[in-house]
């Protein structure tokens, strides 16, 4: 029984990792950049993933973080209002998060590392 539980847990973990690395599987990343968050990583952290809560719409899965805002399909989370933005490296267990408001435009969020604050700029306010 213990072996079966371990196998099931491993399969679920693998499926979660595949879904999170496959891009927008639930519509969280949208190319309409009217409101929400653009997220990028300039820390060089290997395997960094981001999560944005779904209080203002959208899914709440973990996704790989791009190094630029250039591709809205991977960098933009369409949201409105207050949301939790979290970062993790699944292989090390490092996590960090913030509670942020998108306002009436797009908030550009730059992740600099787990030991530093994030950088924020706003467009369209």
Confidence at residue 120, expressed as pLDDT on a 0 to 100 scale? 93
| Rounded Cα–Cα distance for residues 110 and 40 (Å) | 5
Residue 73 near residue 25, CB atoms below 8 Å? no
Describe the strand order of the beta sheet including 76-77 as a list of residue ranges. 76-77, 36-41, 106-111, 119-123
Give which of 33, 40, 1 is closest to 105, Cα–Cα.
33
pLDDT digits (tens, 9 = 90+) for 18-41: 333 333 333 445 545 589 999 999
pLDDT digits (tens, 9 = 90+) for 58-114: 888 999 999 999 999 999 999 999 999 999 999 999 999 999 998 889 999 999 999
Sign of the C-alpha dihedral computed for residues 28, 31, 32 and 33 taken in this order: positive
Predicted TM-score (pTM) of this structure: 0.73
């Amino acid at each position: 029984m213990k072996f079966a539980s371990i196998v099931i847990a491993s399969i679920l973990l693998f499926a979660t990792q595949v879904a999170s690395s496959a891009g927008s599987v639930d519509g969280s990343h949208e190319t309409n950049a009217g409101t929400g968050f653009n997220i990028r990583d300039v820390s060089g952290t290997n395997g960094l993933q981001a999560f944005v809560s779904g209080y203002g719409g959208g899914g709440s899965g973990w996704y790989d973080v791009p190094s630029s805002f250039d591709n809205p399909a991977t960098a933009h989370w369409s949201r409105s209002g207050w949301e939790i933005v979290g970062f993790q490296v699944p292989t090390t267990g490092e996590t960090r998060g913030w509670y942020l408001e998108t306002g009436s435009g797009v908030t550009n969020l730059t992740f600099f590392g787990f030991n530093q604050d994030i950088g924020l700029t706003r467009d369209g306010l």
